[in-house]
Structure 1
Amino acid sequence: MEASIRLGRIRGIEIGLHYSWLLVFALLTYSLAAGVFPSWYPGWNPGTYWAVGALSSLLLFASVLAHELGHSLVAQSRGVPVVSIVLFIFGGVAQLADEARRARDEFLIAVAGPLVSLVIGTGSILLWQPVEGVNQQLGAVLEYLGWANLILVAFNSIPAYPLDGGRVLRAVLWGAMRNVLRATRIAAGIGVAIGFLFMAGGLFLVFRSPLSGIWLIALGWFLQNAAQQSYQQLVIRRFFEGVRVGQLMDPDPPTIAPDLTIDQLVDALLAYNVRSFPVVEDGRLVGIVTLTDVRHAPRAEWPVRRVRDLMTPRERLITATPDDDLERVLRLMAAHEIHQVPVVDDSRLLGLLTRNALLRFLQLRQEVARTPDEVAAIYAEQRRARNLPRITD
């Protein structure tokens, strides 16, 4: 999931908000200010309810961020890179650039988040009444924060993959069966089943409490969908194990110069029937320009503005080398929602790896059920038969 609003970095991990977070923040603040706190603490003025509600919402999401940082920092300590943490409508998600390589590491990463929430929850409950005697509003915030974090721990402990409880279950099964794919299939199947139970419960509840029922249906849909996707992603990664970027990259992609106008760029996009170009100057990769970049430029500026004004510069690009493991690059492409990765040696462009090439390779391997090297050779032969550039050296 890509962040809509980037907040900064912690330990090299990009922190961001998805646009859906704004909606749930507004709804939660309204619920607290108009319902929860007036019933808990009658007699405050309306402004106080809204201020305490907004502060409680912010601190709850700060707790969710701390929960995801718990996962992320343990993952980093176990050698698993973390790309980003994104807060969204259902809480937060830490996007790892790799899978844990051992069941023990998966277990430690999974339990770290709930442990952080447990500490925040119990600490807030213990501080609640002493603080309330001094400042009722701050006490109210601590009361809500405490119970909310304990509920978060209980929810995440449900053994439904990819919730934390489901990841713990997968780690236990993985350690017992010595087979991560089988363990993931079982844990994901349980996650799908629990997701459908949530949806069924939501359908029953919607007639008594429409908002709560709709929320439970949405949560169940998200859970079963996430479980299915997580397993499918693992299967796809296993298909790409042992394959190198150089085997699938296009070694002779069309490129464009940075000083061409947008009009000339559009003509080139249409002529080559592509959505993007690596931007090359003096043999060096200086950026990438895409059709999306063009759409952001006013039509009147196309004859005068240059490619270099639109392109994503080299320092902001995710790149690979021919010897990089394809599975790792695939994870980065998925995490950042990008469709192409330049293959470079220092600043020299060697080729371009595209999502279409990955999909064709995956389809071919599923059809012929052979080893990655054999499939790469067949794929290369198909490209040569169509008079396309070679994908292997």
Structure 2
Amino acid sequence: MNNSVRMGRVLGVPLRIHWTVPLLVVLFGYSLGSQTLPAMIPDQSNATYTIAGLAGALLLLVSLLAHEAAHAITARKKGITVQSITLWALGGMTRMGRPRTPGSTFWIAVSGPLTSLLASALALGAGIGLNTLSGAAVPAAVLLWLGWVNLVLAVFNLLPAAPLDGGRVVQALTWWRTGDQDRAERVAARAGQVLGVVLIGLGWIVVLRGALSGLWLTVIGFFVVIVAGAEHQRARLAPALRGMRAADAMTSPVETCQDWLTVQRCIDDVAADTRHSALALIDFEGRPSGLVHLPRLARIPAEQRDTLRVRDVATPWARCTTCAPDEMLQDVLEKLSPGRALPVLVTEGQNLTGMITADDISRIVRRQALRGTESR
């Protein structure tokens, strides 16, 4: 996910924190400290409410991390590679490979909500016990709030629509019944698109009735629609890409530009005649050194183009998405993220052998559609 920072590892899995996480802590901390706790336990000091609200928000963040960690642990037990866990304002996301069986899909999906239910039970039990035995009203209230929030989180995640965990359950059951993984993914994704639209509508109704909290529901709805749409598109692509290697899809030879050229020289000598929207860069020794997107060149002010080197405005090689020619195309595309999107540079050793662009993928899909028409 874009604009996230790596913050170490959790059980060996890279943990990333999105910039919206501090916003999540502030919003929940403020809501808990200024509204919920004063209503539950009046006559406490402002400092007590502030500290308790912040502690509750941080505990919620820990419970979200536990939810995502459960997905990661279960996936690894099923032999699936887990790339990262990212926490952000709307919860968390665990990037992993594609499950190989309906059973794996099911257990990975339910592990998160089950963890949230366990966290809910522990927090509610601890809150009730703490209030009964010691009379510590403020910590008890925070734990009770945490328990109810985790319960809501678990129930919401079990709604039968992707990308929610309930959508993965629907996907697993559909896959088990039909034996068609691609169809199962399309069904779950379509349900997600419907749910997203419903959430957006409900959110606006709440806003029109005077409650700004409906904006949060609307934002969640937009997120569900966008991610579900992307998953539906991926499920449609899967049959056309299955069995293909990166070498089968790439454009070769690759148009390149020397990275020491000025931006103006690059535009005049190479970019103006290229058929792609990005150019691979090579260094003095002919080794690939980065990737420059033509729209980025176009945005550079004219007065800077004669002094700025093209490598200064390019994506460094370390941040480019690369693969080997014999890698399976589906596996290559699964490695893509919003921060590392197409094109993919295909390399063999230190040599650049090809490039996979969005046009290359579209061409494969169109070819597959024509073959499907011919077979009918």
Identity of aligned residues (%): 32
Q: C-alpha separation between the residues in 2 aligned to 1:10 and 1:306? A: 40
2:322 aligned partner: 319
Paired with 2:43 and 2:340, the residues of 1 have a C-alpha distance of: 49
Structure 2 counterpart SS, 1:369: helix
- Letter of the structure 2 residue corresponding to residue 163 of structure 1: L
Query: Which residue number corresponds to residue 44 of structure 2?
Result: 44
Report the counterpart of residue 282 of structure 2 in structure 1.
Answer: 280
Q: Which one-letter code corresponds to 2:288 in the other structure?
A: L
> Cα deviations across residues 323-347 of structure 1 (Å, max 9, x unaligned)?
1111111222345441211111121
Matched residue type, 2:158: S
Q: SS at the partner of 2:42? A: coil
Question: What corresponds to 2:122 in structure 1?
Answer: 123
CA contact (8 A) 1:56 1:145 kept: yes
Q: How does 1:189-338 map to 2 (within 5 A)?
A: 189-267=190-268, 268-272=270-274, 274-281=276-283, 282-291=285-294, 303-334=306-337, 336-338=339-341
Q: Which amino acid aligns with 1:277?
A: L
Q: 1:193 to 1:341 in 2, by over 3 A?
A: closer
What TM-score, normalized to structure 1?
A: 0.81
Q: 2:57 — aligned with what?
A: 57
3-state SS in 1 of match to 2:354: strand
Report what 1:384 is aligned to. Answer: none
CA distance in structure 1 between the partners assigned to 2:218 and 2:309 by the alignment: 48
Structure 1 Cα separation of the partners of residues 168 and 19 of structure 2: 27
TM value normalised by structure 2: 0.85
Deviation at 1:240, TM superposition (A): 0.8
Is contact 2:319–2:340 with CA below 8 Å preserved after alignment? no
Deviation for aligned residue 1:263: 4.0
Cross-structure match for 2:357: 354
Distance 1:7 1:290, change over 3 A: farther
Q: Return the letter of the residue paired with 1:40.
A: M
Q: Which residue of 2 aligns with 1:154?
A: 155
After superposition, give the CA deviation of every residue in 1:150-204 in whole Å (9 maximum; x if it has no partner): 2111111222233112211221222222222333344344444444444454454
Asked whether the equivalents of residues 195 and 223 of structure 1 are also in contact (C-alpha less than 8 Å), the reply is yes
Q: What is residue 185 of structure 2 aligned with on the other side?
A: 184
* Contact 2:250-2:356 at 8 Å conserved across structures: yes
How far apart, in 2, do the equivalents of 1:232 and 1:331 lie? 13
Relative distance call for 1:44 and 1:367 in structure 2 (3 A) is: farther
The amino acid across from 1:344 in the alignment is T
Matched residue SS, 1:333 = coil
The 1:27–1:246 alpha-carbon spacing in structure 2 relative to 1, beyond 3 Å, is: same
Q: Take 1:130 and 1:295, find their aligned partners in 2: how far apart are those partners?
A: 64
Is the 1:158–1:165 Cα contact (8 Å) retained in structure 2?
yes
Provide the aligned C-alpha RMSD in A: 3.2
Q: 1:122 to 1:226 in 2, by over 3 A?
A: same
Q: How many residues align?
A: 371
Matching residue's letter, 2:69: L
How far apart, in 1, do the equivalents of 2:281 and 2:338 lie? 23
Output the amino acid matched with 1:85: I
Distance 2:299 2:145 in 1: 43
Q: Kindly state the Cα deviation for residue 246 of structure 1 after the two structures are TM-superposed.
A: 0.8
The Cα shift of 1:308 comes to 4.5
**Structure 1: which 5+ residue stretches go unaligned?**
375-393
